[in-house]
Structure 1
């Protein structure tokens, strides 16, 4: 039996927590739902805004839909806190809707990892702010 692992593994140090955050940022900026989903357990639990998502298949469907709607997506994550197998991040991302309106989304995520470095829980609180194209930062 092959055990999936996603380095770095917990317990996290400041260095490995920073690395985990950067890996997540890079994966999400790829806008590749399959690639992103590989960082999560098969039975991962998410809360994204008011939506509850369970398992990799739902993650892939959610992200596929997300990036169809959110054009020119660019994300920046920042380590906020960490301990043992948990990491908290703050983030912002910018995207454009189908009508060409730009938005900046701000949020916080709480992550919990299993011993193999796969995220088993992700809870995200996110707010969107309409912005003008000249206000973009990312």
Structure 2
């Protein structure tokens, strides 16, 4: 998301997390996922390692650690991330404007209920 790249600065680090799950590949950090309760507050995979299943593995580990539904927000400027989350069983619950780096950005609010909890008997597979 080049449009947002300049908004991530060292002077304003990411928010604190209850848990940070780190993916390491060849002795280097390839990505990380932050959890605040059952909410994925950040998921980042180094561009050199994207498309290698790291994001999927991080999300699987988060789901393993969380009790109840897993939630997240994703920038509407990032449809690739939305597709990943939908492939992993997340559904959009709504859209909102969220504060971000001293400004605001539009995000999709997404949820992945635990098995058997989809409304109307629906399932993540459709």
Q: Normalising by the residue count of structure 2, what TM-score does the alignment of the two structures yield?
A: 0.29
Ranked by relative contact order (alpha carbons within 8 Å, sequence separation 6 or more), the top structure is 1
TM-score w.r.t. length of structure 1: 0.27
Higher strand proportion (structure 1 or 2): 1
